[in-house]
Amino acid sequence: MTTEPAKTEGDESRLLEVSGLTTVFPTRSGTVTSVDGVGFAVDRGEVLAIVGESGSGKSVTSLSIMRLIRSPGTIAGGSVKLQGADLLRLSPKQMRDVRSRRISMIFQDPLSALNPVFTIGNQLGEKIRTAGKIGKRELREQSLDLLRQVGIRDPELTLRRFPHQLSGGMRQRVMIAMALSNKPQLLIADEPTTALDVTIQAQILQLIRKLCRETGTGVIFITHDLGVVAEMADRVAVMYAGRIVEQATATELFDNAKHPYTRGLLGSMPTIDQQREELYSIPGTVPPLTDLPTGCAFQPRCPYATELCSRQRPILETVGSDGHEVSCFHPREAGT
């Protein structure tokens, strides 16, 4: 079973190592394990995409890495090592310093992430100041430059506005500017382009890619859009019911996906030469985490499920080159 990402002695490119990460929430129906033994790694300058349906545990995984899980939820186990230092063992003060200087996150809902009683200029300036002392003139110039980078045409007016005075797309661009302001070592982007039109979306993706290339920033990119994954990602982790079910390089995953769930996601993508009138859809729905089926969580929806799948949970194992891993008793080959 793969729980600890491989690492060579003296490998300085390794930025983040997540191993056995488990996050639970007590409910009236029982304890919900939203993240169940998740493990992956991110190298410097690498983009790891995490994909899966809503409720698969993607966002909770990112919040666990940032240690932003709210009570009564708790991180019940595992480790999150940023350049060898386990973030789960840091004091609250130390973790705040990490979040202000070394890790940034683009949240999925900018309206709830931005403070409604402060202007955009106040909030962006506060974020820039966490990196160190800066003069008022330089602070303003940096703020304006960041807003221009994310495609805001009138940055001077935007600095004076409050969050409710901006459109959803504008608020999302402000959140992206704030996340990029301290040139983080690790950027976690949770559906960062959902509210943006395709032109601005392409601009933002190019900006994140440029950040990786020029500064060595590692990126965890959470998305439902497999088209974005194909454009952005170096590697992909597919999540289902709180667990990683497949992990591979982006090229390998698109050419030779092995888990039936991954193949279902890829099969639901529209293509230029598509002959079908209707898109393929995976039958059934994601099971509630309070009532997961025994064995493989995907087996009630899987066309290849056998009796073994209903009584035993498969483990994540290496099945090919370049660290291709899959959690399935019947991994499929390309073309089958």
Parallel, antiparallel, or unpaired: how do β-strands 218-222 and 186-190 relate? parallel
Q: What's the gap between Cα 69 and its chain centre?
A: 15
Q: Which of 19, 33, 21 is nearest to 287 (CA)?
A: 33
Q: What is the pLDDT of residue 245?
A: 97
Measure the CA–CA gap between 334 and 83, rounded to whole angstroms: 36
What is the structure's pLDDT at 6? 43
The Cα 105–Cα 115 span in angstroms is 16
The pTM (predicted TM-score) of the whole model is: 0.88
Tokens representing residue 118 in the block = 């402060």
Q: Which residue ranges in the chain fall short of pLDDT 70?
A: 1-13, 195, 271-278, 333-336
pLDDT of 1: 39
Radius of gyration of the chain (CA): 21
Alpha helices in 7-90, H assignment, sequence order: 58-66
Cα angle for residues 182, 184, 187 (degrees, 5° grid): 125
Query: Which of 109, 336, 75, 60 is CA-nearest to residue 220?
Result: 60
**Of all helices (H) and strands (E), which one includes residue 156?**
helix 155-160
Q: How far apart are CA 3 and CA 37, in angstroms?
A: 8
**Strand 74-82 versus strand 85-86 pairing type:** antiparallel
Spell out the SS3 assignment of 22-45. Answer: EEEEEECCEEEEEEEEEEEEEECC
The conformation of residue 275, written as its DSSP 8-state character, comes to: -
pLDDT at residue number 270: 72
Look up residue 225 and give its two tokens.
Answer: 């859009």
User: Which conformational region is residue 121 in: left (phi greater than 0), alpha (psi within -120 to 50 degrees), or beta?
Assistant: alpha
Task: Look up tokens 């009584």; give the residue.
Answer: 311
Q: What is the pLDDT of residue 20?
A: 97
pLDDT of residue 273: 64
Distance CA(167)–CA(151), nearest Å, equals 13
Cα 139 from Cα 98, distance rounded (Å): 21
**Long-range CB contacts (within 8 A, 24+) of 256-259:** 256/320, 256/324, 256/333, 256/334, 257/332, 257/334, 258/319, 258/320, 258/324, 258/326, 258/328, 258/331, 258/332, 258/333, 259/298, 259/326, 259/327, 259/328, 259/331, 259/332
Determine the pLDDT at residue 133: 79
